[in-house]
């Protein structure tokens, strides 16, 4: 596997080795010793999540403030525009975002350390997205930053009709959660 830095400390792009031939593809998606030895912090994953989304579905930007989760995100079918926002208040990149194209073709994984908001936009007709979490989900601690927050000014892909859940459409501005 290859590991690439991002502009955020401790956030990494991971490219597993994919074996492709006329029968299809095989790749090792996760092996504990490889990840614990190659990531900036030791992360024990305790929960796996799976979502299916149609083209134009935008999920996020979600975070847990009191029970933050590290995540390992990857796409098994389709393609997404994946976005993370640094919410670590002592970080020099606090309030900044970055996006990544994750797809079944590029096999890329995104390691997100605790302290980030996360969301994605489905770019293909169907998306199957998997992610591992380092902490259990606490519904009472889930928060949503609105995807069109003018402070963040995220450059979402043009030409796609975006659909969100009722909960995500009620997301708050970043300034609701943090002093800016």
Catalytic residue set: 62, 131
Cα dihedral 99, 102, 106, 112 sign = positive
Other beta carbons within 10 angstroms of residue 180's beta carbon come to 10
Distance CA 78, CA 96 (A): 26
Q: What three-state secondary structure class fits 145?
A: strand
Distance CA 39, CA 41 (A): 6
Tell me which residue of 84, 115, 89 sits closest to 180, measured CA to CA. 89
């Amino acid at each position: 596997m290859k590991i690439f830095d991002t502009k955020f400390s401790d956030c990494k792009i991971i490219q597993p080795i994919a074996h492709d031939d006329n029968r299809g593809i095989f790749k090792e998606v996760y092996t504990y010793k490889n990840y614990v030895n190659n990531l900036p912090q030791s992360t024990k994953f305790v929960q796996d999540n799976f979502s299916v989304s149609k083209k134009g579905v935008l999920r996020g930007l979600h975070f847990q403030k009191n029970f933050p989760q590290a995540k390992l995100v990857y796409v098994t079918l389709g393609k997404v525009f994946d976005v993370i926002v640094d919410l670590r208040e002592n970080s020099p990149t606090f309030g900044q975002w970055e996006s990544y194209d994750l797809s079944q073709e590029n096999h890329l994984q995104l390691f997100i350390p605790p302290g980030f908001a996360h969301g994605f936009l489905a770019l293909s007709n169907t998306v199957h997205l998997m992610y591992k979490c380092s902490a259990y989900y606490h519904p009472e601690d889930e928060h949503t930053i609105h995807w069109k927050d003018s402070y963040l000014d995220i450059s979402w892909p043009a030409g796609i009709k975006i659909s969100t859940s009722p909960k995500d459409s009620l997301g708050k501005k970043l300034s609701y959660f943090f002093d800016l």
